[in-house]
Amino acid sequence: MAGFLGSDHHELMMDPATVAGDLDRILDGLDAPLADPTTIPTWYMSQLARERVTVALSGEGADEIFGGYARQRYDVGIDRLGAAGRRLLPTVLRMAGRRPSDRLERRLRMTPRLERQLDWGRIFSADEIDDMAAAPLVSEEAMLRPYSELAARWLEYAVSDPVNGRLATDRETFLPGDLLPKVDRMSMAHSLEVRVPYLDNQVVDLVLPLPGSFKQSLRRDKILLRKAAEEDLPPSAAAREKRGFEVPIGAWLRGPLRPALLDRL
């Protein structure tokens, strides 16, 4: 893409020692707890961008508008397996030398699509959440309200258009509760203004009413967006597999970042 656009791309390498040294500044920039490890690369990327520009564009919103998350397609696949297929899949995976995760096995046992949809975005199982909600100092209403709101939104689309139902739940929970605050706080920590063109009113008003089949299928994500990109970008770019903005946070917290983590806890 750099050659096609004639642009000069900059690579930024992160290492846990540098992150440990900057951790207090990153946490100060967050202002409030946010359980998303991609705050770390977003902070560094904003720092690098601010050395050259004062305004930047972000791709936030594309996945929630056009259908970009693999977990949504996985749910379609689990549906198509049927009850017998869901029971057999863990055995088949083990025979192929692959151990299914506890989370996958849990989701395969979930029959209602709503239950699986609720489970994709949470760390704790339903039983664990019930146990925490029963603790004396925990508000059960505060623990369970987000799930009831998500369920209500999903059920509006459950029969007519499940794809759009999944996208709607992400737009009303994950996008405003995680993605947008993360980018806003990490960029403003460096006085960088970030704009989100995919959430422009005209784009949203055009795409939202379209059928879910225009956006996502079992095998393809962001169908409409990729089709539009084919007119202006090389085929390899338009068809490029989605890559998450991830860091090896598990390995870091178990290893080089563990002292810094325990220090702050």
Q: What pLDDT, on the 0 to 100 scale, is given for residue 114?
A: 58
Secondary structure class of 58 (helix, strand, coil): coil
Q: What pLDDT, on the 0 to 100 scale, is given for residue 229?
A: 92
CATH of 2-67+183-264, one of 3.30.1360.40, 3.40.50.620, 2.40.128.20, 3.20.20.70: 3.40.50.620
Q: What pLDDT, on the 0 to 100 scale, is given for residue 202?
A: 97
Q: Is the pLDDT of residue 257 over 80?
A: yes
Write down the residue that tokens 């970042």 correspond to.
257
Least trusted range by pLDDT, from 19-33, 128-142, 215-229, 231-245:
128-142
pTM of the model: 0.79
| Calpha distance 121→74 (Å, rounded) | 13
- Choice between 217 and 65, residue whose per-residue pLDDT is larger: 65
Nearest Cα residue to 167 out of 188, 153, 183:
153
- Choice between 254 and 126, residue whose per-residue pLDDT is larger: 254
Least trusted range by pLDDT, from 32-36, 128-132, 223-227, 238-242:
128-132
| Calpha distance 263→257 (Å, rounded) | 10
Burial of 173 (0-12, 13-18, 19+ CB in 10 A): middle
Express each pLDDT in 179-209 by its tens digit: 999 999 999 999 999 999 999 999 999 999 9
Q: Is the pLDDT of residue 71 over 90?
A: no
| Calpha distance 247→224 (Å, rounded) | 29
Q: Is the pLDDT of residue 61 over 90?
A: yes
- Choice between 73 and 115, residue whose per-residue pLDDT is larger: 73
- Residue 104's pLDDT band, with cuts at 50, 70 and 90, is low
Q: Is the pLDDT of residue 41 over 90?
A: yes
Q: Is the pLDDT of residue 112 over 60?
A: no
Least trusted range by pLDDT, from 77-91, 142-156, 196-210:
142-156
- Choice between 56 and 172, residue whose per-residue pLDDT is larger: 56
- Choice between 260 and 100, residue whose per-residue pLDDT is larger: 260
| Calpha distance 65→232 (Å, rounded) | 20
Q: What pLDDT, on the 0 to 100 scale, is given for residue 30?
A: 92
- Choice between 59 and 244, residue whose per-residue pLDDT is larger: 59
- Residue 67's pLDDT band, with cuts at 50, 70 and 90, is very high
107 CA to centre of own chain: 18
Q: Do 70 and 85 form a contact (C-beta atoms < 8 A)?
A: no
The residue-averaged pLDDT of 45-56 equals 96
Q: What pLDDT, on the 0 to 100 scale, is given for residue 10?
A: 87
